[in-house]
Structure 1
Amino acid sequence: KDVFIKGAKETNDIDSRKAEDIFALLETFAEYGFNKSHSAAYAMLSYRTAFLKANYPVEFMAAVLTSEQGNADKIANFLEECKYMKVPVLGPDVNASGKTFTPVIESNEGSIRFGLAAIKGVGEGAAELIISEKKDSGAYESFSDFMLRCSEKSINKRVMEALIKTGAFDSLGQDRAHLLSNLDAELAESTVRREDLRKKQPSLFEDFDLGCGIAEEDNSAENRLVTDKMSITEKLQYEKEMLGFYISGHPMDSYAGLDVAIDSFADIEAANRDFSDRQTYRLGGIISNVQTKYTRKGSRQFAVFNLATRNQTYELIMFPDAYAKNGARIEEGKLALIHGTTNRRDGELSLTAHDIFDLESSIPRIIQRINFILHPKASAPEFLQTLRGVIDAEYNNCRDGDHTNGHSSEVAVSFLIDNQIIETNSSNALKIAINGSNYKALRQHPTVAGIRVEAFPMQAIDDRKAWEKRRSS
């Protein structure tokens, strides 16, 4: 105040009484003016953000994803938000992708195309070159065409591998495993073709076509390695590694329908609503983001990791006692079944993992009964034949010593007639050891209208300390 009064006198020749009155006005304003103005600005910003998200969800989420490009953790969270908003995120494509995440609106349906620069190992420079070449000379007609036009322009082998692994060439019609296996041969051949073009000499590979693109199919297919198609598991692993999310499916897709019975809750909101402190839960999913840590006292190991179901990702913690028994089973990318307890503190729910099992081998011990509901149409006998084949295959496996320790699930067959489910009667109960592959083969049969799955009840986990048990007894 004294500084203000002195400055007012020296600068503007204002007497001290008037300067005090001015300062009093400013002091009163300062009590509300600055925080209120900030509140008004934030309110306006919140309104505009909410308006854009509600009315332009595709464009809004594309901009949000682009703003965090390079931050894998935040990208993963925003991709979960896109899934919740039912905004599809399409994989990268050398002919369709921009440098950043791009909104795609077709027939009033919106989606977001993954940007080339967002792929790990590609970078902005390579993405700009790929897009610029396509803009100048037209769409890439084949992988060989891409190699001829781009492999000399700072698009090195590492970039090529990243593009292949993420499916950026899928639309050109060649399998990812085939492209990876023959990448060195393609690089060498593109160098030869480029030299031929420089010398204005027709190349045997191009069949005397000196055009910019390679319109015909690869003429040197006989020099290529023959490989099996890339498995869905390998595709998903690469996509998760390079993009941070899955494009071609989800590792839990084979268990769609079973997971409804296996999982104790559909999402963390349901868990928050229905679960109190120290209730037992069960979840099946794929493990990721494993972090091993040490306690401050005693320096004991424990782990924090994510478990992704088909619809939700949860953060779990395994404390030292449980980690000493099960820590070796926590593996990145493993399909696992988790038994644990909920913990509620200050109204927030967290999940503690106590036991971890291999999901595939655990299914027969969890699923009590499956009822396949069929449409009464001509293909129904085909389903029954498929079911018989599964039973026969299991019988042969048991004879060969490949069994599931006696665990099996009861299988029933029903028909959907006039919106009523009528279950068939069988003199002998059908039982099979359900796993991801045989269940998927049965569930995806075209005559299946739906399924009903019943799981065995969980055994409660008592994680109380010894002194807590004594006190409650």
Structure 2
Amino acid sequence: MKLAKLTYDDIDINKINLNDPKVYKNIYKKGNTIGVFQMESAEARQMNIDAQTDNIEDVIALNALNRPACKAMFPDFVENKQHPENMKLIHEDLRSILQSTYGVLLYQEQSLSIFRLANFPDSEVDLARRAIGKKDMEIMKSLEEKLRDKVVKDEDGHILWHYGLKQRGWADKQIEDIWKLLLKQATYSFNKGHSTAYGLLSYITAWLKTYYPTEFMTALLNSEIGDYEKIAKYIIECKKMNVKVIEPDINKSIDFFSISKSSILFGINMIKNVGDSVIPDIINNRPYQSFNDFITRCNIGKRATIALIKSGAFNEFNKDKSTLLYEYCKSAYTPTVYKPVKNLKTKKQMFELGLVEDEITWKDKDLCLARLNAYNKNKYIKKEKERYEKCYKEFEEKYMQGSIEDWQFETLSMYLTVDPFKELRKILKPFDDMGEGIGLIAGTIFAIENKVDKKNNKYAFVSLINQESKIIEAVTWSSIYSRYQEFIKSGTKIMCLGKKKDTLFSIDEIKLLDEWKKELKGSVYNN
């Protein structure tokens, strides 16, 4: 709200339009609910698509329906919403009670309305409320007779109270059916008051996402600092929303994500290997006129400087990352100091080195010393060159392996400005379009959860970012894990053959993506 320059008055539920068609069309109906309160899960997104959520009552209902004991009601909810003329009610008395949930008994309050319908006094309706809220089946069963039909008389036989749905013309089968639903409610049901609060907050976040997308996503990213998996998910959502997220800038980025010219600027705090302790030095020494200016005035250590280079933080200086890494290696190298000698070697040594050819030359000590120092300096230069080349080779092997895209993923845990899977979109189906069974997926590993099975064998759940910038959850069972363990590392780009079931992909074979591309040389891939 601060980024969007809004106040709480701007999102007051008594003032905001809860029936804004743009919010429902762009967010709920399309399942674009990443970042929307209570609606982020894949299941919740699909439920909104299936229900074509188009009003606040639907939002409130879906909050309740997306609960373990309520999910079984969802198909009826959708069917009755889409085809109200076919909606079947146990009894017409329920129409007004269940109208907002399309004939589905969903909320605790609806159950209590049915007890009132059966002429329960308020004190006993409250007893039913406690029974449902506390899942007390004994109390619930004690209410069954009254719900059906019970007459309470005084000692003289005068009717004091007449309970039950029977007196309203309900048939025994209808009462039996509603009683079964009420018993189910007592195992788990959602309070509409809670669901309403959640639903309204859900709508407000959807409204902010609709009208302030850049500000909303910036705040969302900042809410998950340190959780690279969630950050990656939200970056992917930004791409879908056409909200541009750009690499960090050494002169503009702050600790966290910020807005720069309608784009989201990556925060320094989110660059891997750049610790919190060095951020004040980076910010307080600004502005930097060049990379050399930066390393001269801001000594933050090798690890952090290399991470800044690979992340793209120095792009404004118009030098590629490889050049900057080379320059940094050169600047960080400390050569030994050459010192001329003041004393000559022995006569024999000088002759063996070819620095003296006769006795006359040997007697000229100044000439011999000059020749010895010239010899030593040439030797020093050669040795220093070899020492630097060794240092650079070690630096290159340790810090300069992989591609520009690998470096971006290494430091930012995602691809922002590069796309290593661009050509794969022509070959691989979108993951959601793949049928269940054998299939092929590709992606970069960005999260690994190692496990041990009952036989003490290692296996792992692996999260991949695929060619759609979609996060795919995959599993390598123990027999597969043991064969491909060397490939299962964060940042590795792989091609996987396996089986899809629901949203999980079970891996059977793995190949490094580059090797797979080579094997396809001359095929469709290269045409």
CA contact (8 A) 1:91 1:168 kept: yes
Q: Which amino acid aligns with 2:204?
A: R
Aligned-residue offset at 1:187: 6.2
Cα distance in 1 for residues equivalent to 2:281 and 2:128: 55
Within 5 Å, give how 1:390-469 maps onto structure 2: 408-409=522-523, 439=526
Secondary structure in 2 aligned to 1:81? helix
**1:281-337: CA deviations, max 9, x gaps?**
1123333434443211x2233232233322123121122344455555545444332
Paired residues of 1:120 and 1:162 also in contact (CA < 8 A): yes
For 2:499, give the aligned amino acid. T
- Pairwise CA distance, 1:188: 8.8
- More strand by percentage: 1
1:74 aligns with 2:223: no
| RMSD of aligned Cα (Å) | 3.7
Which of 327, 331, 355 aligns to 2:509? It is 355
- 1:317 corresponds to 2:475: yes
User: What are structure 2's unaligned runs of at least 5 residues?
Assistant: 1-121, 134-189, 335-387
Aligned match for 1:44, one of 200, 206, 210: 200
The CA deviation at 1:351 is 1.1
Read off the aligned partner of 2:496 and give its amino acid letter.
Answer: I
Partner letter of residue 314 of structure 1? I
Q: Answer 1 or 2: which has greater helix percent.
A: 2
Q: 224, 230, 240: which is aligned to 1:84?
A: 240
* 1:304 corresponding residue in structure 2: 461
Question: In structure 1, what is the equivalent of residue 260 of structure 2?
Answer: 104
What's 1:260 paired with? 426
Aligned equivalents of 2:250, 2:331: Cα separation in 1: 17
Counterpart pick for 2:444 among 286, 291, 300: 286
2:270 to 111, 118, 124: 118
Please say if residues 442 and 467 of structure 2, whose CA atoms lie closer than 8 Å, have aligned partners that are also in contact.
no
Q: TM-score, normalised by structure 2?
A: 0.48
Equivalents in 2 of 1:148, 1:359: separation in Å? Answer: 40
1:299 counterpart SS class: coil
Distance 1:95 1:338 in 2: 41
Distance across 2 between alignment mates of 1:357 and 1:185: 37
CA contact (8 A) 2:439 2:500 kept: yes
TM-superposed CA distance for 1:30, in Å, is 8.0
- Percent identity between matched residues is 30
Partner of 1:147: 295
Letter in 2 for 1:240: F
- The structure-2 alpha-carbon separation of the partners of 1:59 and 1:289, relative to structure 1 and needing over 3 Å to count, comes to same
Using a 3 Å threshold, how does the CA distance of structure 1 residues 174 and 325 change in structure 2: closer, same or farther? closer
3-state SS of 2:451 partner? strand
Q: Secondary structure in 1 aligned to 2:251?
A: coil
Match of 1:16 in 2: none
- 2-side partners of 1:121 and 1:233: how far apart? 18
CA shift digits 1:247-301 (9 cap, x unpaired): 3413324xx1x4422x2x213x323xxx24xx211123333434443211x2233
Quick check: which has more Rg, 1 or 2? 2
SS in 1 for 2:503: strand
Q: What is the rounded CA distance, in whole Å, between the counterparts of 1:321 and 1:185 in structure 2?
A: 46
> How do 1:15-34 and structure 2 match up within 5 A?
none
Contact 2:246/2:417 (8 A) holds in 1: no
Following superposition of structure 1 onto structure 2, how do residues 154-193 of structure 1 map, counting pairs within 5 Å? 155-183=300-328, 186=331
1:129 and 2:129 equivalent?
Answer: no
Distance 1:331 1:149 in 2: 36
Contact residue 233 and residue 251 of structure 1 kept, 8 A: no
Does the C-alpha gap of structure 1 residues 142 and 44 become closer, same or farther in structure 2, counting only changes over 3 Å?
same
- Aligned counterparts of 1:359 and 1:330: Cα–Cα separation in 2: 13
- 2:410–2:491 CA contact under 8 A, matched in 1: no
Secondary structure of 2:404 counterpart? helix
Using a 3 Å threshold, how does the CA distance of structure 1 residues 360 and 146 change in structure 2: closer, same or farther?
A: closer
Amino acid at match of 1:238: W
SS of residue in 1 equivalent to 2:285: helix
Q: CA deviation at 1:241?
A: 2.2
Q: Distance in 2 between matches of 1:102 and 1:131?
A: 14
Deviation at 1:340, TM superposition (A): 1.0
- The more displaced of 157-166 and 43-52 is 157-166
- Superimposed CA distance per residue, residues 216-267 of structure 1 (whole angstroms, 9 cap, x where no aligned partner): xxxxxxxx99999x989433223222211123413324xx1x4422x2x213
Shift of 1:102: 0.8
1:101, 1:113 within 8 Å by CA — same for their partners in 2?
yes
1:428 corresponds to: none
Q: Decide which of 410, 416, 422 is 1:241's aligned counterpart.
A: 410
Cα–Cα, structure 1 residues 62 and 322, in superposed 2: closer, same or farther, change >3 Å?
same
How far, CA to CA, are the matches of 2:129 and 2:281 in structure 1? 54
Q: Which letter does structure 2 place at the counterpart of 1:51?
A: W
